[in-house]
């Protein structure tokens, strides 16, 4: 079984919670509530009819799953599974933890305390558990057991909230505050925001549930304002940025972390409306760090960054500062402007 036969993938980005890989097919139930697919950055609605989704697991019965997971070298995203698929989700997370692969697991706040507890217990040190808050936005009348999530959050700081940002649906300050009120009752103190552009069919189904005025806003809104949402959340005391998690291995981990710093600089630079050409310098260097096998510390120590044509002098100075001090004054400046400016 080849990687492309069972996995989808994309470039890891700060705005996508650093996800790189996820299963191509996955057991979900059409009876479940709406949820956010972090990998595809899509809004998934429950089917109006049909039977439970099915993952073709003929290859997993042959014992290939562990080998397939262990060969990964970047963040694996495990979507929320139906009850019948819960064991598969736990198995993938366990293999990732044992191999030192960063992982993002996900569940709905409506899942049972036992299911959530199993996810937390299975998660490795480099795993984050997302509590998907989509249903609080799409179906605000639905009751959620905040105490179940709060109980798990007390035990493990890796449990955080997932907020889907959809123009005309969830980007208004009133909606953001309402969901954050629920998140506080769950004792969550970190939030991951994923910007979504729902497919036309999903928009039509959403619109049919909303009053005319709200439906009109949904269909005629522009891009959602990520910065405003994240500033509001930070103002309420929620942490919204996450450093890029790195896989096991010192040299590889250093390159991935440095790549994450450059990517975050590029994304923030763009969000602040600064020159696109400068942002591209950071994105290009970030991708180069993802692809190279060279020792970054050695490149800096020996003064050889200047011979890498994909690293401009401006980017090189950022890398050198990060290698030598563990921080980036440019990123700190951009972060202050993004949240406070």
Does residue 11 register a pLDDT over 90?
A: yes
Kindly indicate the confidence band of residue 62, based on its pLDDT and cuts at 50, 70 and 90. Answer: very low
Over residues 268-295, the pLDDT tens digits come to 999 999 999 999 999 999 999 999 999 9
Q: What does the CA dihedral 186, 45, 72, 152 come to, rounded to 10 degrees?
A: 10
In sequence order, what are the beta bridge partners of 42? 37
Kindly indicate the confidence band of residue 341, based on its pLDDT and cuts at 50, 70 and 90. Answer: confident
Over residues 64-81, the pLDDT tens digits come to 778 888 889 999 999 998
pLDDT at 50: 44
Nearest alpha-carbon partner for 73 in 97, 95, 102, 98? 102
The secondary structure of 106-161 as a DSSP string is EE-TTS-HHHHHHHHHH--TTEEEEEE-HHHHH-TTS---HHHHHHHHHH-TTEEE
Element (H, E) at 195: strand 191-195
In sequence order, what are the beta bridge partners of 191? 161
Give the integer Cα–Cα distance in Å for 279 and 275: 7
pLDDT at 340: 95
Total number of residues shown for the chain: 341
Nearest alpha-carbon partner for 137 in 253, 271, 252, 45? 45
Give the integer Cα–Cα distance in Å for 97 and 91: 10
Domains of the chain and CATH, by start? 3-235 (3.20.20), 250-340 (1.10.150.110)
Over residues 227-239, the pLDDT tens digits come to 999 999 999 999 9
Classify strands 103-107 and 127-132 as parallel, antiparallel or unpaired: parallel
Element (H, E) at 193: strand 191-195
CB 117 within 8 A of CB 150: no
Give the angle subtended at the CA of 155 by the CAs of 79 and 139, to the nearest 5°. 45
Kindly indicate the confidence band of residue 117, based on its pLDDT and cuts at 50, 70 and 90. Answer: confident
């Amino acid at each position: 079984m080849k990687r492309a036969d069972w996995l989808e993938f994309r470039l890891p980005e700060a705005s996508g919670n650093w996800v790189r890989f996820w299963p191509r097919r996955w057991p979900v139930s059409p009876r479940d509530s709406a949820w956010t697919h972090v990998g595809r950055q899509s809004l998934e609605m429950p089917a109006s009819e049909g039977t439970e989704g099915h993952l073709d697991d003929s290859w997993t019965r042959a014992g290939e799953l562990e080998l397939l997971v262990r060969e990964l070298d970047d963040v694996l995203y495990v979507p929320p599974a139906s009850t019948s698929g819960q064991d598969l989700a736990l198995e993938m997370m366990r293999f990732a933890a044992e191999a030192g692969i960063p992982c993002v697991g996900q569940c709905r706040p409506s899942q049972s305390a036992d299911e959530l507890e199993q996810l937390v217990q299975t998660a490795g040190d480099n795993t984050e558990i997302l509590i998907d808050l989509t249903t609080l936005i799409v179906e605000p009348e639905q009751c959620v057991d905040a105490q179940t999530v709060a109980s798990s959050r007390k035990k493990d700081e890796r449990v955080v909230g997932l907020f889907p940002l959809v123009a005309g649906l969830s980007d208004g300050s009133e909606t953001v505050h309402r969901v954050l009120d629920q998140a506080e009752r769950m004792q969550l103190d970190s939030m991951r925001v994923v910007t979504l552009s729902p497919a036309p069919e999903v928009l039509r189904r959403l619109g049919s549930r909303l009053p005319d005025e709200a439906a009109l806003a949904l269909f005629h809104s522009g891009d959602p304002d990520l910065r405003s949402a994240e500033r509001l959340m930070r103002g309420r005391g929620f942490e919204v940025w996450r450093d890029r998690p790195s896989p096991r291995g010192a040299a590889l981990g250093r390159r991935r972390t440095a790549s994450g710093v450059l990517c975050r600089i590029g994304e923030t630079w763009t969000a602040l409306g600064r020159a696109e050409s400068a942002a591209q310098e950071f994105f290009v260097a970030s991708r180069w760090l993802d692809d190279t096998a060279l020792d970054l510390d050695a490149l800096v120590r020996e003064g050889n960054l200047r011979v890498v044509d994909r690293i401009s002098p401006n980017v090189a100075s950022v890398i050198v500062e990060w290698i030598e001090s563990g921080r980036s004054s440019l990123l700190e400046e951009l972060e202050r402007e993004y949240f406070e400016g």
